[in-house]
């Protein structure tokens, strides 16, 4: 078993434990997601600064654009958390489910990709394979029977939402990998000894939360 897979599994179990606490104690959900979002935003902007380090007009425009988009995204996450906390605490389950999909997607991708290998999914992230992507989706879909009544959706509706959330999580992972490659760094930071940055571990989750919430609440 590769060290990267072990790290991912350890991180996933830690996140799962935190997730359970978040579900039962709303203040832990609020504080944790706020801290995670802010740290991830800082790490993201650090990547952008490394990519667009030249002080010419073009780089400054791109840097400003990326940072403004990331700031708006941070506000979206914070607004979503505060909205649920103050107006609809019962909707915490939608965030819980979205994060759980991302965790299962991560574990499934690494496990199945490691076993079956095969054709690369993209040149951006050489470790990503088509078999791993399929494994991500399959592992995510396993959750449906356990949550179909909790989220109060039909099977086919939850299937579509889960499928799309898994794809979103994978896209987030690939996007951050692309930025790290452009910045010529292995990790987004060294805040987690042996694991790199926080964004390295939750890149898919950051993208899955808002997409999952709006999909699950609007179907």
Radius of gyration, alpha carbons of the chain: 17
> Which CA distances in Å does 156 have to 83, 153, 164?
28, 8, 12
Residue 140 pLDDT level (bands cut at 50, 70, 90) = very high
Query: Nearest 5 degrees, angle CA 209-CA 189-CA 3?
Result: 85
Candidates 101, 170, 98, 160; CA nearest to 134 is: 170
Q: What is the pLDDT of residue 133?
A: 94
Q: Using CA atoms, how far apart are residues 33 and 98, in angstroms rounded to an integer?
A: 13
Residue 82 has pLDDT above 80, yes or no: no
Q: Are 212 and 168 in contact (CB under 8 A)?
A: yes
Residue 29 has pLDDT above 90, yes or no: no
Q: Using CA atoms, how far apart are residues 99 and 12, in angstroms rounded to an integer?
A: 10
Q: Using CA atoms, how far apart are residues 9 and 13, in angstroms rounded to an integer?
A: 6
User: Any alpha helices (H) in the chain, and if so which ranges?
Assistant: 3-24, 26-51, 57-87, 92-116, 130-141, 144-147, 155-183, 198-218
Coil, strand or helix at 120: strand
Q: Using CA atoms, how far apart are residues 150 and 169, in angstroms rounded to an integer?
A: 22
Residue 157 pLDDT level (bands cut at 50, 70, 90) = very high
Residue 161 pLDDT level (bands cut at 50, 70, 90) = very high
For the record, the structure tokens of 89 come out as: 């605490």
Lowest mean pLDDT among 18-27, 61-70, 76-85, 90-99: 18-27
Max mean pLDDT range (5-19, 32-46, 130-144, 185-199)? 130-144
Q: Are 201 and 10 in contact (CB under 8 A)?
A: no
Q: What is the pLDDT of residue 206?
A: 87
Over residues 75-79, mean pLDDT: 81
DSSP 96: H
Domain boundaries, the chain: 3-218
9-24 confidence digits (pLDDT tens): 676 677 667 667 766 6
End-to-end CA distance of the chain, in Å? Answer: 40
Residue 90 has pLDDT above 70, yes or no: no
């Amino acid at each position: 078993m590769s060290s990267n897979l072990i790290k991912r599994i350890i991180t996933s179990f830690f996140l799962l434990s935190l997730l359970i606490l978040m579900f039962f104690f709303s203040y832990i959900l609020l504080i944790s997601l706020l801290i995670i979002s802010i740290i991830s935003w800082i790490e993201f902007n650090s990547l952008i600064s490394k990519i667009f380090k030249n002080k010419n007009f073009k780089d400054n425009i791109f840097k400003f654009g990326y940072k403004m988009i990331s700031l708006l995204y941070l506000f979206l996450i914070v607004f979503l958390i505060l909205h649920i906390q103050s107006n609809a605490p019962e909707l915490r389950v939608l965030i819980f489910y979205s994060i759980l999909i991302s965790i299962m997607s991560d574990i499934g991708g690494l496990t199945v990709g490691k076993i079956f290998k095969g054709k690369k999914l993209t040149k951006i992230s050489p470790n990503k394979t088509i078999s791993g992507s399929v494994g991500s989706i399959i592992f995510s879909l396993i959750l449906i029977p356990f949550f179909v009544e909790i989220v109060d959706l039909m099977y086919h509706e939850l299937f579509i939402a889960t499928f799309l959330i898994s794809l979103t999580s994978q896209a987030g992972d690939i996007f951050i990998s692309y930025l790290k490659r452009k910045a010529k760094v292995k990790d987004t930071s060294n805040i987690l000894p042996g694991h790199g940055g926080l964004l390295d571990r939750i890149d898919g989750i950051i993208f899955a939360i808002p997409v999952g919430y709006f999909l699950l609440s609007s179907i």
